[in-house]
Structure 1
Amino acid sequence: MRKPINRISFYVYLFLSTLFLTTACSSDDSDTDNVMGDWIRQSEFAGVTRSGAVGFAIGDKAYVGTGYDGKNRLKDFWQYDPSKSAWIRIAEFPGVARSAAVSFSANGKGYVGTGYNGETYLKDFWEYDPEANTWTQIADFPGSARYGALALSINENGYVGAGYDGNYQKDFWQYNPSTGAWTEKVGLGGAKRFNGFAFSLNGKGYIGGGQNNGLYEDDFLEYDPIADSWTRLKALNSTDREDEAYPTPRGSAVPFTINGKAYLCVGTNGATLSEVWQYDASGDSWTAMNAFEGYAREGAVGFAIGNYGFVTTGAYGSTRFDDLWQFDPTMDNE
């Protein structure tokens, strides 16, 4: 014989079920709040999955290569044409295979150097000519051999600094493509770091994040190339930015710039992140954008072409990726 249902238990069950459904619906409604930024998956990267690769954009095309696939360092290189949503393999990087290198574009050329080959830190540097599809070795980076450095370009000059060479670094160097010369500039006006983020806006450079002796740095710095000087902006903490939104300090994040604004995507603060933030230099302010819609990751590659940003490759733990996502900051997430 079946045991009869206890009437009190039934009503308790009914109440809890209704409460759960109501709560779930409320959560779904809150998720529809308008947050700017729309992510669309595009043609996936044609090389093997990897993290710690480099990427740069020249004109209306992007270039991605090197990195680590979990077993081997890599030296293949690929061009992405968003107008055709197509990847083609280009001339192989001629230096030793590596990961955690740096790259920048300046004066119509791409530049790749430093990094780690699995045994030693590196300081060689190479120039890529997209018209000839050729690589040429240029003068070595004059600082110490290192990996996890940061790089950016301002007014057709490249800048490389910080990183790890057995110790954490904060030096800063300019490369002039017209003369082929490296010049040491005043070192970072904040902490030493590796795996920080760097971008340029309106003729100035911006640097933040990364790790120093196991800590994620929260300082945020502006570099003036004319004065060769650093200004400390409000740090990424509640003390400096009380009642303001701001990204948590992080390493291995992806920056790119679109139409006078910078965007900081993914990375790690001990946990792998999907967050996306917009930075407005005119007000030194941050705005949360729609989160990255691929898997959370660190050590990815980011670049911007026209009005769109792109994120590809990267890792979540031991899992590495080859998906490509396009970001439109002007669209909402509905």
Structure 2
Amino acid sequence: MQTKRYSSLLWLVVVGLLSLTSCSDDSDDTATIYGVWTSRSQFEGLARSSAVSFTIGDRAYVGLGTDGTVRFKDFWEYNPNTNTWIQKADFPGAARYMAVGFSANGKGYVGTGYDGVNRLGDFYEYDPTTDKWTQKADFGGSARYGATALSINDKGYVGTGYDGNYKKDFWQYDPATDTWTQKPSFGGNKRLGATSFALNNQGYLLLGSDNGVYQTDVWSYDPASEVWTEHNKLVLNTDLDYDYSAIPRDNATSFVIGDRGFIALGNSSGVRADCWEYSPSADAWAQKNPLSNFSGAARSQAVGFAIGNYGYIGTGLTGSLRLDDFWQLAPDEEEN
């Protein structure tokens, strides 16, 4: 009986040691999480949504938008080196929201949008060296709001949106000649609230909604060949072993850091707080820091831009509340 009792105790010790070893192995396999959000200086203008932004050198410019009643025409410059805002010359056109903005050849360009009554098609150039705006040729397409814009090789591109109907046309602006040229449309559906960014001299267009349906297609545009290429759809694909079905939304924000594109926030049956990173070489998406997501309030209709190795997101709409906070993403910093 004594030998049997010792054998039982020995078995319990062995089982306990195996359990401890198993727990230790699991903790060693824990993945490191990258992507840290840090609060930065609040946007110094009034809280708003549907503003526009663009970057020139190491400065960002944010303006226009609405607080739900008032439409704005003020513009502000953000210096990430000092984490400060300074007001610049007001936008000279009608106060508006849901406009587009891009930069090309050292200047900023802003146009289209909605003034509360009219859909707009006028365009203006901002010169940061003189702090002055100059009216340029009207947008080549129909007056609209909710379009998307990007720039590639010192030329601007504007497309999609709403002019009384959903749109899918695509236009190039050449600042050297102040002219608009229509380019081939992409192969997907018309849409409102799409998102776009430029990466490796290609323009990427994705997201948005068409008649209340969130779009799942992703397209890239090569300005040299004027050819659109479709990429992996934002769905569950068991054959290719990925699930991107959480990404489709409208009124998201985007930015580019190095050779990666980022989309964040937006709306899909409610405001979102997640951020996704895109690798063009792998045509693959990965959620950035899924444990903490964006550190501010979930929102849509925010502005986003990148300067150096950091992304920035601010303003926007959550419920009926307009926001004025600003956040910085260090995408490769380890979560503590």
TM-score (norm 1): 0.89
Identity of aligned residues (%): 51
Aligned to 1:128: 126
1:94 counterpart letter in structure 2: P
Asked if 1:332 is matched to 2:331, the reply is no
> After superposition, where does 1:259-274 map in structure 2 within 5 Å?
259-274=258-273
Can you list the C-alpha shifts for 1:276-329, whole angstroms capped at 9, x where unaligned?
010000110011102110000000000111110000100101011100101100
1:275 counterpart letter in structure 2: D
Aligned to 1:60: 58
Aligned to 1:233: 231
1:303 counterpart letter in structure 2: F
> After superposition, where does 1:174-323 map in structure 2 within 5 Å?
174-239=172-237, 242-246=240-244, 247-290=246-289, 291-323=293-325
Q: CA deviation at 1:245?
A: 4.2
Checking the alignment, whether the CA contact within 8 Å between 1:160 and 1:172 is kept in structure 2 is yes
Q: CA deviation at 1:238?
A: 1.2
Checking the alignment, whether the CA contact within 8 Å between 1:274 and 1:295 is kept in structure 2 is yes
Aligned length: 304
1:221 counterpart letter in structure 2: W
Bigger shift: residues 132-141 or 34-43: 34-43
1:270 counterpart letter in structure 2: S
Unpaired runs of 5+ residues, structure 2, are 1-26
Aligned to 2:40: 42
1:268 counterpart letter in structure 2: N
State the alpha-carbon separation in 2 of the partners of residues 115 and 279 from structure 1. 28
Structure 1 consecutive aligned stretches of length 4 or more whose deviation exceeds 6 Å: none
Aligned to 1:3: none
1:113 counterpart letter in structure 2: G
Checking the alignment, whether the CA contact within 8 Å between 1:245 and 1:287 is kept in structure 2 is no
Unpaired runs of 5+ residues, structure 1, are 1-28
1:262 counterpart letter in structure 2: G
1:73 counterpart letter in structure 2: R
Match of 2:91 among 76, 93, 103: 93
Calculate the aligned-residue CA RMSD, in Å. 1.3
Q: CA deviation at 1:35?
A: 2.3
Checking the alignment, whether the CA contact within 8 Å between 1:174 and 1:182 is kept in structure 2 is yes
Match of 1:72 among 59, 70, 74: 70
Larger radius of gyration: 2
**Tell me, what secondary structure is at the counterpart of 1:94?**
coil
Can you list the C-alpha shifts for 1:191-235, whole angstroms capped at 9, x where unaligned?
111100000100101011101111111111011111111111111
TM-score (norm 2): 0.88
Bigger shift: residues 38-47 or 240-249: 240-249
Q: CA deviation at 1:239?
A: 3.5
1:237 counterpart letter in structure 2: V
Asked if 1:170 is matched to 2:168, the reply is yes
Aligned to 2:147: 149
Checking the alignment, whether the CA contact within 8 Å between 1:158 and 1:174 is kept in structure 2 is yes
